[in-house]
Amino acid sequence: MREVEKTKEEWQKELTGQQCFVLFEKGTERPFSHPYNDNKEEGTYVCAACGTPLFSSDTKYDSGSGWPSFFQPISSGNVEEIVDRGHGMIRTEVVCRTCGGHLGHVFNDGPKPTGLRYCMNGAALKFDKA
Binding-site positions for Zn(2+) read 47, 50, 96, 99
> Residues comprising the binding site?
47, 50, 96, 99
Are 99 and 124 in contact, with CB atoms under 8 Å apart?
A: no
- Residue 41 CB burial class (10 angstroms; 0-12, 13-18, ≥19): exposed
Half-sphere exposure of 99 (CA within 13 A, CB side): 23
In this structure, the dihedral spanned by the alpha carbons of residues 84, 86, 90 and 94, taken in order and rounded to 10 degrees, is -30
Q: How far is CA 109 from CA 36, 41, 42, 115, in A?
A: 20, 24, 24, 6
Q: Which residues are catalytic?
A: 119
